Copies of this chain bind each other. A is one copy, B any other.
């Protein structure tokens, strides 16, 4: 537990770091930049995985597993992709250790066990997967291939933050192969919709769907679609990307097929992914100065029951009733925990579950039993209600739905108020410095202007929203003509 409680207003970044550790979500490891995802954090990630996996399968995808390592010759085949990741990849050069003759009990890399070809720990799997698809695809009958992989990847980041940016992270990466450009683009957009559905309806995080500028595109993609969320400090967070890869990887790995017209052509590709970064978004979006706030659909347990008693006689009655409620909640498919530990006081437990973001807390004492009632507290609004014990299950069921909806509406209102239209460079900078948010501004469409704006303001174009009104104007920076507004923000 951090010694001193830091509020969001004091230092949002420190607040986040403390929260991740204090709520037992994750911590730093002995390996620079790599994190340990602790059981409570991992339980949330498992719920995310289950929700996503189900959506992938419903849209026709199957899971598979490809190697962790990419031989250097394959890694460098698609040049833009290789260039994009070369500067941050872990390289395996040897396959054996030996005892160090100079230091008894210590090991050293065995120089005789040098690999002929270095292996790159995958930063993403396009290269290894497309070198495989080459053998799987001959005719249009072999298409589409709709595969997803749950895996760990490594990108050697210099500045890391738990969940948001770590050297190793967990993710899923979809890799699909199609006979036509249209089909591949439709897939790219479909998966973006799957991500936004998940973000909004499960994570309760509103997102803007858009397309990246050339500068911000995935290395090797023709187009990168994204969902962007806005955190409480006014900074944007990219929550998922879906790439239309064109024929770039098919050309790099020579993957051709005979189409229906009996012509040999290159295959069209997509890839799409979300990662444990979503944990960062979830934490930052809803939590408050008292701790984590979890949407019921992702909470490892949705309800915690805390008994309050003094005498042994009271204890017996309260424990019995607590078990009865636990059983009834479980029967109703509400995940609940009954914390009957007698090593900790109720006040301690209240604070613990507040910190851990459990959506609903039930307190149960002798007076509640006498009046056939329970005390129900919502984590999101911290409101307390007294509920007839006979109606408790139905009441809690509805309250969970209300909390889920409330978190989304609260976040949506916040986000919408933070989309700020500006029409000059001065307004642009004022908005950024005055709480940030998505700055909706005209841009002349040139990468040079984009780069200059980034240098001067640290704001990047998060996306060109898919639902954008075409509106002529002049670029806030260059004054050149613009055909539409785009969304700028400082970002994680």
- Separation in Å of the A144 CB from the closest CB of chain B? 13
Residues of the B chain whose Cβ atoms lie less than 8 Å from the Cβ of A99: 83, 86
Given contacts A76-B107, A97-B89, A68 and B152 within 8 Å (CB-CB)? yes
Closest to A135 in B: B27
Distance from A61 Cβ to chain B, minimum over Cβ atoms (Å): 9
Tell me how far the C-beta of A120 lies from the nearest C-beta in chain B, rounded to whole angstroms: 7
Give Cα A75–Cα B96 distance, bound, in whole angstroms.
13
Contact B97 A66 (CB under 8 A): no
The interface bits of chain A over 30-47 (1 if a CB of B lies within 8 angstroms of the residue's CB, else 0) are 110011111100110110
Assess whether A31 is in contact with B91, with CB atoms less than 8 Å apart. Answer: no
Q: Which of B67, B74, B95, B97 contacts A72 (CB 8 A)?
A: B97
With A76-B105, A86-B107 as contacts: A156 and B67 at CB distance below 8 Å: no
A30-B74, A128-B30 known; A87+B92 contact, CB < 8 A: no
Q: How far is the CA of A400 from the CA of B65 in the complex (A)?
A: 29
A461 at the interface (CB under 8 A from B): no
What are the residues of chain B within 8 A of A42 when measuring CB–CB? Answer: 62-65
Closest CB of chain B to A200's CB: distance in Å? 26
- In the bound complex, residues from chain B placing their C-beta under 8 Å from that of A70 are 31
List chain B residues, Cβ under 8 A from A62: 39, 42-43
Closest-by-CB residue of B relative to A129 is: B36
Q: Does A118 contact B (CB under 8 A)?
A: yes
Tell me if A414 counts as interface (CB < 8 A to partner B).
no
A109 within 8 A of B: yes
A147 touches B35 (CB 8 A): no
Of A67, A86, A106, which is in contact with the most chain B CB atoms at under 10 Å from its CB?
Answer: A67
Known pairs A72-B107, A131-B30; A64 contacts B36 (CB<8 A): yes
Q: Does any Cβ of B come within 8 Å of A170's Cβ?
A: yes
A149-180 toward B: CB 8 Å interface, digit per residue (1/0)? Answer: 00110101000000000001010000000000
Contact B36 A132 (CB under 8 A): yes
Given contacts A42-B65, A68-B152, A170-B65, contact A92 B107 (CB under 8 A): no
8 Å CB interface, A56-88 against B? 62-72, 74-76, 79, 82-83, 86-88
In the complex, the answer to whether A92 meets B95 with C-beta atoms within 8 Å is no
A83 (CB) vs chain B CBs: closest residue: B99
Residue among B67, B89, B109, B147 making CB contact with A31, cutoff 8 Å: B67
Contacts of A30 in B (CB 8 A): 67, 71, 74, 128, 131-132
Q: Which of A35, A69, A132 has the most CB of B within 10 A?
A: A69
Q: Which residues of B contact A29 (CB under 8 A)?
A: 66-67, 128, 132
- In this assembly, does A382 line the interface, its C-beta being within 8 Å of a C-beta of chain B? no
Cβ contact of A86, chosen from B67, B72, B90, B96, cutoff 8 A: B96
Are A118 and B128 in touch, CB under 8 angstroms?
A: no
How far does the alpha carbon of A87 sit from the alpha carbon of B67 in the complex, in Å? 21
Contact at A107–B64, with CB atoms within 8 Å?
A: no
A69 in contact with B31 (CB, 8 Å): yes
Given that A36-B65, A132-B30, A154-B68 are contacting pairs, would A96 and B88 also be in contact in the complex, using a CB cutoff of 8 Å?
A: yes
Q: Does A119 contact B (CB under 8 A)?
A: yes
A97 to B73, CA, bound (A): 12
A383 at the interface (CB under 8 A from B): no
Q: Nearest chain-B residue to A149 (Cβ)?
A: B42
What's the Cα separation between A68 and B69 when bound, in Å? 13
Question: Is A472 among interface residues, defined by CB-CB distance under 8 A?
Answer: no
Given A95-B91, A97-B87, A109-B118, A66:B36 Cβ within 8 A: yes
Residue A98 CB within 8 A of the other chain? yes
A130-154: contact bitstring with B at CB < 8 Å (1 yes, 0 no)? Answer: 0110000000010000010001101
A184 → B minimal CB distance (Å): 19
Report A415 CB to chain B, min CB distance, Å: 30
Residue of B nearest to A131 (CB): B30
Residue A259 at the chain B interface, CB threshold 8 Å:
no
Interchain CA distance A158-B43 in the complex, whole Å: 37
Knowing A64-B37, A64-B38, A132-B29 are in contact, say whether A88-B93 is a contact too (CB < 8 A): no
Name the residue on B nearest A170 (C-beta). Answer: B65
In the complex, chain B residues whose CB is within 8 Å of the CB of A96: 86-89, 91, 156
A-B pairs with beta carbons under 8 Å apart, 12 shown? A29-B66, A30-B67, A30-B128, A42-B64, A67-B168, A82-B97, A83-B99, A86-B98, A86-B107, A90-B94, A93-B93, A93-B94
Known: A93-B109, A121-B121. 14 other contacts (CB 8 A): A29-B66, A29-B128, A31-B71, A34-B68, A42-B62, A42-B63, A65-B170, A83-B99, A86-B98, A91-B93, A93-B93, A93-B94, A96-B156, A152-B152
